[in-house]
């Protein structure tokens, strides 16, 4: 085989592929240092600030951003929102499944003794919120694997297990909703034990409820976000009527969230902190505008809510606001007690590597399994569409 033929058969190296390979190389180096020299070698964590970027972003944000899995499944199979929503079920569950797998990987980096991650399986502590979160995450990841398994069985043409798992669909969906409700709220409960250490704008006895409601809202927004990227990457038809329905759901959920958020601040008598000239007040208003204000305004305008670009912009704002909220709860609110914290570059590299790997795996699975049934059928009939771009390029 000639050298020119070998070069022609190698995958084309694009900018985003080069970035991904670079992240994998640097991330592998950081991982080796982390697991051989400990957390202190690669993080700015310390005794008075034990949780940083890996818990605040990789775990809290990762779990919330994967909420589309149980939200859309409940809409389709429990609330019977309509057949049109079936088209987005598989990619949404795939996104949630990958999100939870990456959360588990991130936990391995953050745990001081990662080899003990299995302890909650046999060492039960019924009084620990972390025990409940650990079990719920393990069980829900297993449920997501089963919910996604029909895609694999269809690809392999395994009819018997396919019929069996389809007969269990409602059971799996109900289990997924129950488990998600428990651990999405319990992640907020983790911070109820440190009221004296948190800034009043983010500590609240209602944190579990606020965490759950905001997760439902961002689950709908993430579905819009993922659908838009899939439309760009795979040249898929964008289900505008479906996304418009989800956008209306975002308005409703964010209205409930905002009402509870400000009622809580007023009832505790701390709403004045939001109007003080402080960094915390600025971050609070930016978080509120991004997560609730901008999406509600955009999605309330009839001319904008039917345009795919504005749907995407609203979803991006909601996602960024949710990320700010979780980082404010886990980092900003605690800096008044534990001192300033900013992650080392190694922490940022691991987080970026996990996110980039999630995009890569989603793209690979979507290309090789019937995640988008209609497009797969069309592809088999007419060959792959020309001009296809990578998932990262679609951003």
One digit per residue, pLDDT tens: the chain, 395 residues? 556 666 666 667 788 889 999 999 999 999 999 999 999 999 999 988 989 999 999 999 999 999 999 999 999 888 887 778 888 899 999 999 999 999 999 999 999 999 999 999 999 988 888 899 999 999 999 999 999 999 999 999 999 999 999 999 999 999 999 999 998 999 999 999 999 999 999 999 999 999 999 999 999 999 999 999 888 888 777 788 899 999 999 999 999 999 999 999 999 999 999 999 999 999 999 999 999 999 999 999 999 999 989 999 999 999 999 999 999 999 999 998 888 999 999 999 999 999 999 999 999 999 999 988 655 444 444 444 444 444 445 44
pLDDT value at residue 199: 95
Query: Do residues 274 and 285 make contact, with C-beta atoms less than 8 angstroms apart?
Result: yes
> Within 10 Å of residue 213's Cβ, how many Cβ atoms?
20
Q: Whole-angstrom Cα distance, residue 99 to residue 88?
A: 17
Quick one: which H or E segment has residue 295?
helix 294-300
pLDDT value at residue 10: 64
pLDDT value at residue 1: 53
What three-state secondary structure class fits 384? coil
Q: Give strand ranges (E) for the chain.
A: none
Provide the token pair at 76: 């389709």
pLDDT value at residue 3: 62
What three-state secondary structure class fits 368? helix
Q: Which residues contact 89 (CB under 8 A, 6 or more apart)?
A: 72, 73, 76
The shares of helix, strand and coil residues in the chain, as percent rounded to the nearest 5, are 80, 0, 20
Tell me the pTM.
0.89
Q: Which residues contact 205 (CB under 8 A, 6 or more apart)?
A: 192
126-134: which pairs have CB atoms within 8 A and are 24 or more residues apart?
129/186, 129/189, 129/190, 130/190, 132/182, 132/183, 132/186, 133/183, 133/186, 133/187, 133/190
Q: Whole-angstrom Cα distance, residue 211 to residue 201?
A: 14
What three-state secondary structure class fits 80? coil
pLDDT value at residue 80: 81
Q: How many CA atoms lie within 13 A of 198 on its CB side?
A: 20
pLDDT value at residue 4: 64
């Amino acid at each position: 085989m000639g050298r020119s033929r070998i070069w022609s058969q190698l995958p084309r190296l694009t900018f985003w592929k080069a970035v991904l390979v670079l992240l994998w190389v640097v991330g592998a180096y950081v991982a080796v240092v982390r697991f051989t020299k400990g957390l202190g070698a690669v993080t700015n964590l310390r005794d008075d600030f034990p949780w940083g970027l890996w818990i605040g972003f990789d775990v809290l944000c990762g779990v919330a951003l994967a909420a589309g899995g149980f939200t859309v499944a409940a809409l389709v199979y429990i609330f019977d929102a309509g057949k049109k929503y079936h088209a987005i079920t598989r990619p949404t569950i795939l996104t949630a499944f990958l999100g939870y797998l990456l959360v588990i990987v991130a936990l391995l980096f953050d745990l001081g003794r990662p080899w003990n991650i299995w302890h909650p399986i046999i060492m039960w502590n019924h009084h620990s919120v972390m025990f409940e979160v650990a079990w719920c995450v393990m069980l829900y990841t297993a449920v997501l694997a089963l919910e996604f398994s029909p895609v694999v069985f269809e690809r392999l043409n395994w009819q018997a297990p396919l019929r069996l798992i389809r007969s269990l669909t409602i059971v799996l969906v109900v289990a997924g909703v129950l488990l998600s409700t428990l651990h999405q709220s319990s992640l907020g409960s983790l911070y109820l034990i440190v009221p004296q250490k948190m800034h009043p704008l983010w500590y609240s006895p209602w944190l579990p409820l606020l965490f759950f409601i905001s997760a439902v809202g961002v689950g709908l927004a993430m579905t819009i976000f993922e659908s838009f990227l899939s439309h760009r990457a795979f040249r898929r038809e964008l289900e505008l009527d479906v996304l418009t329905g989800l956008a209306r759901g975002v308005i409703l959920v964010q209205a409930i969230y905002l009402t509870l958020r400000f009622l809580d601040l007023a009832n505790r008598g701390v709403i004045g902190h939001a109007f003080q000239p402080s960094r915390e007040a600025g971050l609070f208003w930016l978080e509120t505008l991004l997560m609730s204000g901008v999406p509600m305004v955009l999605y309330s305008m009839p001319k904008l809510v039917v345009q795919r670009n504005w749907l995407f912009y609203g979803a991006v704002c909601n996602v960024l606001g949710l990320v700010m909220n979780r980082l404010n709860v886990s980092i900003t609110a605690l800096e008044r007690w534990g001192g300033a914290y900013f992650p080392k570059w190694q922490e940022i590299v691991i987080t970026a590597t996990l996110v980039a790997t999630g995009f890569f795996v989603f793209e690979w699975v979507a290309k090789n399994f019937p995640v988008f049934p209609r497009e797969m059928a069309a592809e088999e009939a007419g060959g792959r569409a020309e001009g296809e771009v990578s998932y990262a390029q679609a951003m």
